Amino acid sequence: MDRKDNKMKILRVIATLLVVVGHSNFYLISTNIRGLGYDASTYVIDHSRFWTLSSYLVGLIYSCHMQLFFVISGYVFALCLKKGKYKTFTALTTAKVHRLLIPYIAVTILYNIPILMCADYFSHNIRNVLLYFIGYGKNHLWYLSALFLIFLLVYSVRFLGNKMTFMSEKVTLVVLFFVALLVYIQIECKIINITEFVYLDRVAKYLVWFLFGMILYIIKETSFYQYCKLRLNWCDVIILFFLWITSYLIGLMEQSKFAAIITSFIGVVFFYELCEFIAKKYKILDANKLINLIDKYSLEIYLYGVPLNYVILTALIQMCGKVELNDVQSSLLFILRFLIQLLGGIVIGMLIENFQKVIKRGKTQSEKK
């Protein structure tokens, strides 16, 4: 990702924090595969007012938090294509294998699975472990695999579109966006059902958001958007925020899938414009070391932070057995889980970075000899 784009930098930090907050609240993970799941709610009983309120907050966050990551990826991908990066399909594939697939495989095998086995996530069933690895169940690293396939798909369609002389690149992108939107609506409304195998269901669901990010990059180059950007103020951002909240509440009360879809789009636009406004008005990135640290290790927080939840919950169960939390205990546990995920991801990222430097230094010294 282009680290010089302050708007995207802020958006990446916000999206990372939203993911960490969202994963600080759950006690139960249920899956479509029998025997594959983790039910800490059997032991940690939390019906506190804090948990109830935080659950509504998490529901609001879940309306757009992963969508933001795909929007960022699509936006940066469009930027890279404009700069002439990824001139061939092979170049793109090689880059994304190193960036996405290798971390998915390595972290899943060496980090996720051992932690989850200790938490009895797989019910001591090797079949469940294999299913987990190929896309079934709830592996938080699904994003990496799905994003890899989306990169290849979009690049291929773009290449074919360029071969058709009657379609410009922008027209190809818009057509693909509306096709992806139609698929997304049908998935959300449960009209169609796509297999979980290698996260194909996530590819189909989140393709539209990746394309939306690419479109946002193209739009930002227009004179109309620059005109709107100059006049963007806090009032506009606040209006978007209340539209997001209102749409979410309507969807919650009416159980409307259509309202949920609208909520996702409003949420994404709200955070995008919020970051646009912050980047324009404030220079928080120049002095705020914490924001820069979260931005630098955003991937590591995502990779290594979430599984630490299982460590915390398993330790709590082992030490206390069955426990019912009050408001104070629930809020303290929430904060503890948030901080451990955030700081744990950063610390592990730093350790890996330093280890890589030592290895590189050792190779350099051996080559000199």
pLDDT tens, residue by residue, 306-318: 899 889 999 999 8
Q: Which residues neighbour 292 within 8 Å (Cβ) at sequence distance 6 or greater?
A: 285
pLDDT tens, residue by residue, 171-202: 889 999 999 999 999 999 999 999 999 999 99
Band (363; pLDDT cuts 50, 70, 90): confident
pLDDT (mean) for 234-255: 94
CA dist., res. 285 & res. 290, Å (int): 9
Angle at 62 between CA 59 and CA 68, to 5 degrees: 150
Whether 66 and 302 have beta carbons less than 8 Å apart is answered as no
pLDDT tens, residue by residue, 119-176: 888 888 899 999 999 998 888 999 999 999 999 999 999 888 877 766 678 888 999 9
Strands 323-324 and 44-45: parallel
Band (369; pLDDT cuts 50, 70, 90): low
pLDDT tens, residue by residue, 16-68: 999 999 999 989 887 877 666 778 888 899 999 999 999 999 999 999 999 99
Q: What is the pLDDT of residue 282?
A: 80
153's tokens = 């798909």
Q: What is the pLDDT of residue 232?
A: 85
Residue 2 has pLDDT above 70, yes or no: no
pTM (two decimals): 0.93
